[in-house]
Amino acid sequence: MMEDGDEEEDNDEKYRSMFSECFDTAMDDNEEEGGEEQASDDPVDDDLRRAISDARRDCDTDKERLQFDKMLEDHHKLLYPGCEDGHRKLGSILELLKWKAEVGVTDSGFEKLMIILKKLFPRNNELPVSTYEAKKLVCPLGLDVQKIHACINDCILYRGEKYENLNKCPICGALRYKIGKDDPGDVEGEPPRKRVPAKVMWYAPIIPRLKRLFRNKEHAKLLRWHMEERKKDAMLRHPADGRQWRNIGREFPDFAEMASPINFNQFLEREKLKSNGSNFTDWFRHVRIFLSNLQFVLDAPLGDPPAEDESDEVKAVYATRKTRYSQVQCAILCSLESDLQKRFEHHDPHELMNELKAIFETHAAVECYEASKHFFSCMMEEGSSVSEHMLAMTGHAKKLSDLGIVIPNRLGINRVLQSLPPSYKNFVMNYNMQNMNKELPKLLAC
């Protein structure tokens, strides 16, 4: 969405899209509920409460969790004491923000309306008295929206190393910022003035929206319908039955397979790489499994494009490789949390993986140390269950294997035998004398 002129004070349109799945149900669900205490005991069964609860599970900090706890509290709180219709604070404010976006009311106009409603409603009502307070209540559920400055003639976007710091368009020469009649510009010795861009593009990243769609089981089932339940015959019932849909699948078979709803959904449902790298080892293993057919992309950079005098065959090979690199880059970015996505958005996949390994390899080293310590210090207590002990040893060995640590077969067997209590002395002696030479996994399965 492009806007000319000043940056407007409100960004209402995003509320209509961000909470479209919540607006239609918030008020109806509230009307059906009884008192405040009863509502707090009900299961999270409506879309709004489900959205809040799902978002809370993805929080990384206590501060974020407290924000969503406050939203759940507002979702259960009556609009005013003794509200017989059962209207709730959060649902009512969402409805008002939706109305504001639909009719195009400005922030100042909406604020005046809130002040009037605050006076008309019974005392001790929960309505906010400003637009800022109303938006603040729902902002934790909002999806990221990036504002990117653009050339007023749509030539370029001021982003990336090439254009980010420019003050005018290199193509048409148009200025990036508006200049007022009395604008003296930046004055030496004073902090730079905040300038208004001539045009702004609002970019809504697709990954968080896909995650929100697939997070709802009913919506996810509908999104997978064309792959799982669609009747495939000569009839044209769905865009997937069309020729163009099939042409894309035939022309880019690898991309079609990677981008299929089933595979993509499974990949998004995997544990994403957290900003602190605490799950880097598991994430790295998942990525390598998912991209096993495109491992060459992770092992080496793409390289420079062929020269103009190269043969068409060489150019075609390079174009194919470039497509594979783009696919892998998209897949890896999908598996990162949003702040890491922004940080590595312009990295090629090989460079991206090396950067992540360099940043988070200390976490992998700590995990390796802890797993090794557990495996080599695990001892079975006298009289305890041998099956439970073997399950514990199996878990430690699997953790080391997942970390890429190969335990020599003889060393692993000796460690398992050494972990047994003295009452198993005869078993250990017979095992060594008979030279059973079982593989470690088979011994652990005994």
Q: Are 101 and 95 in contact (CB under 8 A)?
A: no
Q: Is the pLDDT of residue 238 over 50?
A: yes
Q: Is the pLDDT of residue 135 over 70?
A: yes
Over residues 124-132, mean pLDDT: 89
Dump pLDDT digits (tens) for 366-388: 777 888 888 888 898 888 888 78
Q: Give the pLDDT band (50/70/90) at residue 173.
A: very high
Whole-angstrom Cα distance, residue 263 to residue 245? 18
Q: Is the pLDDT of residue 3 over 60?
A: no
Whole-angstrom Cα distance, residue 83 to residue 36? 10
Angle at 437 between CA 431 and CA 443, to 5 degrees: 75
Q: Give the pLDDT band (50/70/90) at residue 7.
A: very low
Phi/psi region, residue 223 (left: phi>0; alpha: psi -120 to 50; beta: rest), is alpha
Q: Give the pLDDT band (50/70/90) at residue 113.
A: very high
Q: How high is the pLDDT of residue 151?
A: 94
Q: How high is the pLDDT of residue 262?
A: 46
Dump pLDDT digits (tens) for 23-34: 443 444 444 444
> Among candidates 74, 76, 94, 78, which has minimal Cα distance to 86?
78
Over residues 2-26, mean pLDDT: 45
| Residue 57 CA: distances (Å) to CA of 15, 54, 203 | 22, 5, 26
Over residues 331-348, mean pLDDT: 80
Dump pLDDT digits (tens) for 306-334: 888 888 888 888 888 888 888 788 778 87
Over residues 395-407, mean pLDDT: 76
Q: How high is the pLDDT of residue 34?
A: 40
What is the token pair recorded at 182? 């009395």
Dump pLDDT digits (tens) for 242-291: 888 777 777 766 656 555 544 544 555 556 777 767 677 777 777 776 67
116-120, 224-228, 350-354, 371-375: which is most confident: 116-120
Q: Give the pLDDT band (50/70/90) at residue 104.
A: confident
Over residues 103-129, mean pLDDT: 90
DSSP state string for 115-137: HHHHHHSPTT----SSHHHHHHH
Q: Are 356 and 315 in contact (CB under 8 A)?
A: no
Question: Which residues share a beta bridge with 201?
Answer: 2, 148
Cα-only R_g, the chain: 29
Dump pLDDT digits (tens) for 44-57: 346 677 777 766 66
More confident residue, 36 or 256: 256
Q: How high is the pLDDT of residue 423?
A: 87
Residues across the chain: 446
Task: Kindly give, in sequence order, each residue whose CB lies less than 8 Å from that of residue 28, ignoring residues fewer than 6 positions away.
Answer: none
Q: Is the pLDDT of residue 4 over 70?
A: no
Q: Is the pLDDT of residue 172 over 90?
A: yes
DSSP 3-state of 437: coil
